[in-house]
């Protein structure tokens, strides 16, 4: 693919979501999106069945300041 024929994407398109992907990590040279699908995000516990984020309690260890 020549440089003149490459598609240009806005920031919203590069790292976003759509009806198939929870997180779009990037695009192939052919223009196909790849990343984590909604089904994978639900299975991994990132979102619930209604596609709402699942909030987890963050534990901070006071011994390590970083």
Residue 7 pLDDT exceeds 50:
yes
Residue range 47-58, pLDDT digits in tens = 888 888 777 655
**Residue 12 CB burial class (10 angstroms; 0-12, 13-18, ≥19):** exposed
Closest CA to 20 of 33, 9, 7, 8: 33
Assign 14 to helix, strand or coil.
helix
**What pTM did the predictor assign?**
0.56
């Amino acid at each position: 693919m020549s440089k003149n024929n490459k598609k240009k994407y806005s920031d919203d398109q590069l790292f976003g979501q759509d009806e198939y992907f929870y997180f779009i990590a990037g695009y192939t040279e052919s223009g196909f999106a790849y990343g984590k699908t909604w089904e994978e995000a639900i299975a991994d516990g990132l979102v619930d069945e209604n596609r709402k984020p699942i909030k987890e309690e963050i534990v901070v260890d006071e011994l390590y300041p970083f």
